[in-house]
Structure 1
């Protein structure tokens, strides 16, 4: 119908079930200081709130993460660990097709605890990031800290600004880099593709 407004897209926090079914074989050897997966040094050049580097880029590890899987447990397509994702080849194919510029990857080493070759798993970081993409005045439980980040009170209802996000389907916010957000379309794609292990929490809308 001419003049009809587009229906608002729901926004979600993307997470995964916390029932891994695997463990690290070399977590303490990934970085020289034993920091595990964590970021070493500044998250961004100059300031945490500077773009375009974006948050949580994968460090230059001394060796690839090695995961030991329990052969009695079903392998999921996605695991969330320390602000990163560990994803299957199936999940990576979905990312590559529908959000090709949103992530960076590192192929892991895997095996089952019985010595058999493990599944193909990628360490993934969502690096597509946006600044000032939230209408804070209309998101009453989101507060701006002195450093410019977001502090969340309870179950915040996020009011996103579509003009800033420009159709992003999988993204982070510079001011709240711990979270990974996605839209309803991406959530639907995960269901259609039979992705196992995803968890979605609705947190607001991407357009009004």
Structure 2
């Protein structure tokens, strides 16, 4: 694999501040974690896979409804936004925001949730951003470019790395009306625009972290 730093940006990336944001679940801090487990995890793993896959939007993806349980010995009650084994786990309140702003971008799967005393907890969902848009403006961004050979097609493919910091600029005409998407060929959490950012801020939800894509 070849790795090289992209050509230095020729535009002022400061002018792109506040346009796009990386959406992630924030760390708890102080050595704390959510006390969540998927009790029927093994039943949800597809044949040939090692872990539970994020939801795809297929209503028959999982053979049974995911079942979460709170274990106080392991951590606190889940916030509005958690990530467990690579799967977003979100509250009803966060789902409502996502569905109101950009419903076609997401896949949701409702979960059962049992509290430590055996009673039923609030509604949570598995969630994933299923829209992919190749909108990265590479010449205008500061990002490492990796080139790797695809041995199936025989062609070189470009991958983007933000390791060590990056400043990402996205083409608005390519993004179009999308308010959140995943950037292909980049190990990056989903990218959202100002509309989604502002809706999440107004909702004042716990566990939501938004980082300006122009200053990673």
User: How much does 1:136 deviate?
Assistant: 1.1
**RMSD value over aligned CA atoms?**
2.5
- In structure 2, what is the Cα distance between the partners aligned to 1:194 and 1:153? 30
Distance 1:124 1:97, change over 3 A: same
Which of the residues 113, 122, 146 maps onto 2:116? 113
Q: Greater shift after overlay, 117-126 or 196-205? A: 196-205
- In structure 2, what is the Cα distance between the partners aligned to 1:142 and 1:34? 31
- In structure 1, what is the Cα distance between the partners aligned to 2:87 and 2:188? 9
Structure 1 unpaired stretches of 5+: 1-6, 40-55
Distance 1:140 1:193, change over 3 A: closer
1:67, 1:109 within 8 Å by CA — same for their partners in 2? yes
Structure 2 unpaired stretches of 5+: 1-14, 28-32, 149-156
- In structure 1, what is the Cα distance between the partners aligned to 2:84 and 2:212? 20
Q: After TM superposition, list the pairs within 5 Å mapping 1:127-138 onto structure 2.
A: 127-131=130-134, 133-138=135-140
The equivalent residue for 1:139 is 141
Q: TM-score, normalised by structure 1?
A: 0.76
The alignment partner of 2:120 has SS state of coil
User: How much does 1:89 deviate?
Assistant: 0.9
1:36-72 Cα shifts (integer Å, max 9, x gaps): 2237xxxxxxxxxxxxxxxx73672222221111468
Distance 1:21 1:10, change over 3 A: farther
- In structure 2, what is the Cα distance between the partners aligned to 1:58 and 1:144? 31
Which of the residues 22, 29, 33 maps onto 1:13? 22
1:145, 1:151 within 8 Å by CA — same for their partners in 2? no
- In structure 2, what is the Cα distance between the partners aligned to 1:70 and 1:189? 31
Q: TM-score, normalised by structure 2?
A: 0.74
Number of matched residues? 182
2:81, 2:208 within 8 Å by CA — same for their partners in 1? yes
